[in-house]
């Protein structure tokens, strides 16, 4: 199973509005991506799986459906996109535009989304009728809706959907709106067809059959792709032909989170959170766990959008049981509470999942980091540990960013979104021991998996100056030469709905490696103090000026790969100029650069690096691959590190690299 960012450990956005051409005006169409590529072998074919979204200029108006007269002009989704599988053998060392790739399949291709019926499907979760569902159960005071009923998005459920979808429209207009959400792109002949929403920041999960999940009707379940899109839906897409999947690239179903429903008439819906999937051994029937504990495959995702102060449109975190892809069950939804704490759940994009010891119990936890959606206007971050089965909040850490180091500087903006948590297993016993998160203030924080704070309220590392935000999750690896776990943070930029304003690209930024268990007297470490803190700081790398880093660093073998971009990747113009990204190799042993910068298509997202040193890129305006052993002059790839994947309990492709 591959999903998340395909990096050593850890994850994985609300972004500016994107312009997509309606069917009637598609001049100067280009495709762009800010999601990480995933390289996986399905059916014996190694392929790069890549999402993208369409952008056109000039920017067309956003069609909305707020009054009856809008029925004639409403199109959906505003931003359309693609999900392609491309054989790695067909990807070259130079950038190929996404629309020019020779694809094994495109999930937006003709017939891949089944024909919908707004009145309801005779057979759901099949290739014969598009299945879209949601939930409508209101959350409790803590923001939790547990085991909400599955509600199909059809006119048979109009009465339940209308209060959340479009309460001011007449029933007949709501029915038209629902019909357009299911199929909203005009053909020019008076009919409408469905289109896949654009895939922007959401990195997909590719989920193969699990040895822990029984067969369905005597056959293995199909390999599935799960991804969030700019139509406000989580899409389940078939990667091979098996069971209910009659074609690779076929949409099996789409799920609209409750908090996205009110955005649909305004075409402001979007799911930017990356998908996480894990096999969890737990009580999923909410009865005696000693009797019915069993493995289930659970998908979790953050919406990556929403307004904590707007009821019904709050950012949310969701869990779906996808053990049987043709019978998904929503386990829970957590949204910002109606009466939030000073610092509380806000907008986030990254998650991590795994079993952990909490007190005397082993509990399956989903760890989520967000910006501050609480009652305080101050910026900060929220870190929550959620029971994967029940949605119960097990523990939370709430942090307000300090004042700028220089009083003349502006504070960290509250719109910035942190990169998400990284989890790891120090004892290598299959249980999560620690959680690491970075912050936009330039910190690296370490927690125990039960919420303990071994360093009190201090980060283990803090940059010495302002404008050194760490916008991606830390990258964690095990250094075999010292027998210690290390974490790498890279400063430079972050995800923001408008622009990354707490950034100065003209100043130097850094990549810093530190041990995850430093001496308490060294905390917090920084990048400028001389020496190495008695071995607790592994390296400090000064990055090239003129570029900033938003993506999570990648560890492969004994090497560190850092991706940067010369532009603000948050801007709507991102991808207009080709090849703005760069990748640089470093030795994990001492942080020394290996060769020169290599230009790549874009630097908004992480790359996927193979065990042989081939780096796959799908960013900006196109896709490419780089054989680092023959490109950039850095010499042969050092592949001596050994990868250990905890696939038996947490199928997140989180590799702990043993650095030799």
Is the whole-model pTM more than 0.85? Answer: yes
CA 292 to chain CA centroid, nearest Å: 31
Helices (H) and strands (E) in the chain, counts: 3, 40
Alpha carbon 37 to chain centroid, angstroms: 12
Is it the case that residue 25 has pLDDT exceeding 70? no
Q: Residue 179: enclosing H or E segment and its boundaries? A: helix 171-182
In 3D, which of 68, 72, 98, 69 has the Cα closest to residue 85?
98
pLDDT exceeds cutoff 80 at 652: no
Q: How confident is the model at residue 215 (pLDDT cuts 50, 70, 90)?
A: confident
Query: 524: cis peptide before it, omega within 30°?
Result: yes
Mean pLDDT of the chain: 91
Strand order of the β-sheet with 276-282 is: 144-146, 329-335, 316-321, 294-302, 276-282
pLDDT of residue 380: 98
Environment class of 501 (CB within 10 Å of its CB; exposed 0-12, middle 13-18, buried 19+): middle
Asked whether 503 and 568 are in contact (CB, 8 A), the reply is: yes
Query: Which residue has tokens 């429209």?
Result: 169
Per-residue pLDDT for 659 more than 50? no
User: 158 pLDDT band (50/70/90 cuts)?
Assistant: very high
Q: What are phi and psi of 534, to 5 degrees?
A: 65, 30
pLDDT digits (tens, 9 = 90+) for 246-256: 999 999 999 99
The whole-number pLDDT of residue 289 equals 64
Label the pairing between strands 380-387 and 443-448: unpaired
Q: Give the model confidence (pLDDT) of 192-202 as tens digits.
A: 999 999 999 99
Task: Render pLDDT for 70-106 as a digit per residue (tens, 0 to 9).
Answer: 999 999 999 999 999 999 999 999 999 999 999 999 9
pLDDT of residue 307: 96
Q: What per-residue confidence (pLDDT) applies to 290?
A: 65
pLDDT of 582 > 70? The answer is: yes
CB 103 within 8 A of CB 97: no
Selection from 307, 269, 328 nearest residue 147 by Cα? 328
The predicted pLDDT at position 504 comes to: 87
- Over its C-alpha atoms, the chain yields an Rg (Å, rounded) of 23
What pLDDT sits at residue 29?
A: 87
Q: Mean pLDDT check: name the lowest of 13-17, 208-212, 224-228, 401-405.
A: 13-17
* pLDDT tens by residue, 414-456: 999 999 999 999 998 999 999 999 999 999 999 999 999 999 9
Q: Can you spell out the DSSP letters for 469-498?
A: ---S--EEEEETTTTEEEEEEE-S--B-SS
Mean pLDDT of 123-132: 97
**Residues of the chain above pLDDT 90, percent:** 85
- Residue ranges and CATH numbers for the domains of the chain are 30-129+196-659 (2.130.10.10)
Mean pLDDT for 560-582 is 94
Q: Which pLDDT score is estimated for 644?
A: 31
pLDDT digits (tens, 9 = 90+) for 602-628: 999 999 999 899 999 999 999 999 999
Q: Which three-class secondary structure state does DSSP give residue 74? A: coil
Tens digit of each residue's pLDDT (9 = 90 or more) over 342-394: 999 999 999 999 999 999 999 999 999 999 999 999 999 999 999 999 999 99
């Amino acid at each position: 199973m591959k999903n998340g960012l395909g990096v050593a450990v850890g994850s994985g956005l609300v972004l500016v509005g994107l312009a997509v051409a309606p069917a009637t005006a598609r001049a100067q169409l280009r495709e762009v991506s800010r999601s990480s590529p995933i390289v996986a072998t399905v059916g014996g074919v190694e392929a790069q799986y890549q999402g993208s979204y369409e952008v056109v200029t000039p920017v067309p108006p956003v069609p909305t459906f707020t009054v009856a007269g809008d029925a004639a002009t409403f199109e959906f989704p505003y931003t359309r996109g693609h999900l392609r599988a491309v054989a790695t053998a067909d990807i070259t060392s130079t950038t190929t535009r996404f629309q020019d790739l020779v694809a094994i399949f495109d999930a937006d291709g003709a017939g891949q989304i089944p024909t919908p019926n707004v009145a309801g499907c005779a057979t759901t979760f099949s290739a014969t009728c598009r299945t879209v569902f949601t939930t409508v159960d209101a959350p409790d005071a803590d923001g939790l809706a547990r085991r909400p009923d599955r509600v199909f998005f059809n006119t048979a459920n109009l009465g339940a959907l209308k209060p959340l979808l479009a309460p001011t429209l007449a029933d007949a207009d709501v029915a038209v709106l629902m019909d357009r959400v299911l199929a909203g792109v005009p053909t020019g002949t008076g009919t409408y067809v469905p289109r896949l929403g654009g895939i922007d920041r959401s990195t997909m999960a590719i989920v193969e059959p699990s040895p822990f999940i029984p067969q369905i009707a005597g056959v293995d379940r199909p390999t599935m792709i799960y991804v969030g899109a700019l139509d406000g839906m989580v899409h389940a897409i078939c990667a091979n032909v098996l069971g209910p999947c009659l074609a690779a690239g076929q949409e099996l179903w789409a799920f609209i989170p409750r908090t996205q429903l009110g955005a649909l008439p305004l075409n402001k819906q979007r799911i930017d959170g990356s998908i996480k999937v894990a096999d969890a051994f737990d009580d999923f029937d909410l009865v005696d766990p000693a009797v019915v504990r069993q493995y289930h495959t659970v998908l979790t995702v953050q919406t990556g959008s929403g307004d904590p102060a707007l009821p019904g449109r709050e950012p949310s975190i969701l869990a779906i049981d996808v053990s049987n892809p043709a019978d998904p069950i929503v386990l829970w939804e957590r949204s910002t509470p109606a009466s939030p704490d000073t610092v509380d759940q806000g907008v986030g994009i990254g998650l991590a999942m795994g079993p952990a010891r909490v007190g005397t119990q082993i509990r399956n936890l989903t760890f989520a980091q967000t910006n501050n959606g609480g009652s305080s206007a101050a910026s900060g971050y929220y870190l929550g540990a959620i029971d994967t089965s029940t949605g119960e909040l097990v523990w939370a850490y709430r942090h307000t960013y300090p004042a700028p180091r220089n009083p003349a500087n502006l504070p960290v903006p509250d719109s910035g979104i942190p990169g998400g948590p990284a989890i790891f297993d120090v004892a290598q016993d299959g249980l999560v021991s620690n959680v690491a998160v970075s912050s936009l203030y330039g910190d690296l924080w370490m927690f125990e998996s039960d919420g303990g704070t071994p360093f009190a309220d201090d980060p283990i590392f803090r940059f010495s100056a302002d404008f050194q935000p760490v916008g991606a999750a830390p990258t964690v690896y095990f250094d075999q030469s010292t027998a210690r776990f290390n974490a790498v943070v890279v400063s430079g930029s972050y995800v923001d709905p408008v622009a990354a304003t707490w950034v100065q690209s003209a100043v130097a930024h850094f990549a810093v490696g530190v041990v995850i268990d430093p001496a308490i007297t060294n905390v917090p470490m920084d990048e400028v103090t001389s020496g190495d803190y008695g071995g607790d700081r592994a390296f400090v790398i000064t990055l090239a000026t003129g570029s900033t880093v938003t993506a999570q660093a990648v560890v492969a073998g004994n090497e560190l790969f850092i991706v940067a971009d010369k532009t603000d990747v948050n801007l709507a113009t991102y991808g207009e100029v080709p090849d703005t990204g760069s990748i640089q190799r470093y030795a994990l042993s001492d942080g020394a650069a290996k060769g020169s910068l290599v230009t790549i298509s874009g630097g908004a997202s992480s790359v996927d690096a193979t065990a042989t040193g081939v780096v796959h890129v799908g960013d900006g305006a196109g896709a490419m691959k780089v054989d680092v052993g023959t490109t950039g002059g850095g010499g042969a790839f050092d592949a001596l590190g050994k990868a250990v994947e905890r696939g038996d309990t947490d199928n997140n492709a989180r590799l702990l690299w043993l650095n030799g």
